[in-house]
Amino acid sequence: MTNSEPFEVEQSAVPDQEPSKRTGTVWTATAHVITGVIGAGVLSLAWSTAQLGWIAGPLSMIFFALITLFSTLILCECYLTPDPEKGPIRHPSLTGAVKFFLGEKRQKICALFVLESLYGTAVAYTITVTQSVSAIEKSNCYHKEGHDSSCGRIHRNMLMLIFGAVQIVVSQIPDFHNMAWLSVVAAVMSFTYAFIGMALGLAKVIGNGMVKGSISGVSANSGAEKSWLVFQGIADIAFAYPYSVILLEIQDTLKSPPSEDQTMKKASRISIVTTTIFYLCCGCFGYAAFGDKTPGNLLTGFGFYEPYWLVDFANACIILHLVGGYQIYSQVIFAMVERWFAAKYPDSTLGRNLELKLPLCSRLEFNIFRLVFRTAYVVSVTGIAMLFPYFNQVLGVLGALNFWSLGIYFPVEIYMVQKSIGAWTRKWVLLEAFSLVCLVISVMGLIGSVEGLIRAKFR
């Protein structure tokens, strides 16, 4: 983070630094990418495959993998900019690169999309955690009372309020995003519940003795309804793939030689191939196990009842992952707003750290602005999650909004400026056509997800 630009989400371009400060390798970069990509979105892939069917579903995951790979490969080449006077200039963040190559106006637009992505992820995490807590309660109830019992009267809003209260407390810890152990725990938990979901799907397919599903996917009451579900399924897949927001930050940790772009390209190829294989297994095993009855969330939709303790453990891993993940994403917004406030009102007592001495306790340091803003932020996130507690639809909206803007448009535009590609040249036309096709896909996904969100709200 830099203090020079209060409205920036990340660092701008910086001159070259000592190589010893960057010690990352292709394997550390691969690990960062995989742990950054695999998350709650993997739980919706079986449902997405069910909407698209046995041909379009797997092909869509491969298609998005290829698109993501192409956009990341061209963005890798924009990390370093030669400068005859200062030496190579590094771009350690997407927003910083946008500002350097495309100007401050588009940098602000990019920052808005980044903030929307971070804020929306916090909303999605609140919904998912609530579903997982409910699933644990239901799982234990079904185990005791039987699968046909009337379990499931869970007070969803109360669970969201409890989760929000926990996040209000945790949010007051300054510099929480710098705790390395939090990322390690989140990574381990995400792999654990994703593997459990995949394994349970495979076990159920074996138990059924058949592969369920069809070429056309889940049937619908009308052609229009089927179109909305297909668009929403595409948007959910789009949510699961892009990582352009963190790519340049990961590349900034790499040592050289070999060159950072070569190492990052290799890491991107390895991680996307690994992630795609993983996604195909989760999506296809889930659809093969349940067919038209595939749940929206593979671990909370109760396709699996037994072993109940394994379902409980998987959902507990989701909760642990997302409690920490909520903070990892939200702390970026906290830092941005608090830097802005400090620069705008440097003499305000609201932004100063104050000490509070409590009986039988050591001195407690707190900040009035931090307390008020972070509390209001968590309250607003919780409120929106309570208003729209729909897992697949919310993921679809986020995927559609961010896939083209952050994953395609800005990387393509940066690359064309970096490589001095002239207008109406062959390469320019191909890149603009690629961006336009992805824009159409995003719009289709957004329309389907918004329609699903409205339908779920008012049905």
List pLDDT tens digits, range 354-363.
666 656 555 6
- Kindly tell me if the per-residue pLDDT of 429 is higher than 70: yes
What are the residue ranges of helices labelled H in 242-367? 244-251, 260-290, 308-344
- Kindly tell me if the per-residue pLDDT of 6 is higher than 50: no
- Kindly tell me if the per-residue pLDDT of 377 is higher than 90: yes
Lowest mean pLDDT segment, chosen from 2-11, 12-21, 118-127, 430-439? 2-11
List pLDDT tens digits, range 287-326.
999 999 998 888 877 666 778 888 889 889 888 888 877 8
- Kindly tell me if the per-residue pLDDT of 19 is higher than 80: no
Q: According to the model, what pLDDT value does residue 180 have?
A: 53
Burial 109-126 (b: 16+ CB within 10 A, else e): bbbebbbebbbbbbbbbb
DSSP code of 390?
-
Lowest mean pLDDT segment, chosen from 18-27, 32-41, 49-58? 18-27
- Kindly tell me if the per-residue pLDDT of 436 is higher than 60: yes
Lowest mean pLDDT segment, chosen from 37-41, 201-205, 225-229? 37-41
- Kindly tell me if the per-residue pLDDT of 9 is higher than 80: no
pLDDT above 70 covers what percent of the chain? 88
31: nearest Cα among 186, 193, 200, 206: 186
Q: According to the model, what pLDDT value does residue 427 have?
A: 95
Lowest mean pLDDT segment, chosen from 167-181, 193-207, 338-352, 398-412? 167-181
pLDDT tier at 5, thresholds 50, 70, 90: very low
Cis peptide before 307 (omega within 30 of 0): yes
- Kindly tell me if the per-residue pLDDT of 4 is higher than 50: no
Q: According to the model, what pLDDT value does residue 17 have?
A: 52
> Which range scores top for mean pLDDT: 98-102, 174-178, 341-345?
98-102
Q: According to the model, what pLDDT value does residue 183 have?
A: 62
What are the residue ranges of helices labelled H in 388-425? 391-404, 410-418
Could you tell me the two tokens for 28? 């550390």
- Compute the CA torsion angle 413, 416, 419, 421 (nearest 10 deg): -160
Q: According to the model, what pLDDT value does residue 24 have?
A: 83
Per the prediction, the chain carries an average pLDDT of: 85
pLDDT tier at 171, thresholds 50, 70, 90: confident
pLDDT above 90 covers what percent of the chain? 43
Contacts of 224-227 spanning 24+ positions with Cβ under 8 A: 227/448
Report CA-CA distances (Å) from 261 to 31, 218, 434: 17, 43, 22
- Kindly tell me if the per-residue pLDDT of 404 is higher than 60: yes
pLDDT tier at 16, thresholds 50, 70, 90: low
The mean per-residue pLDDT over the stretch 246-254 comes to: 87
- Kindly tell me if the per-residue pLDDT of 153 is higher than 80: no
Q: According to the model, what pLDDT value does residue 173 have?
A: 72
d(CA 285, CA 49): 10
The residue that leads in pLDDT, 263 or 85, is 263
List pLDDT tens digits, range 216-247.
999 998 989 999 999 999 999 998 888 888 89
Q: According to the model, what pLDDT value does residue 108 have?
A: 92
Q: Which residue in the block uniquely carries the two structure tokens 């927001």?
A: 245
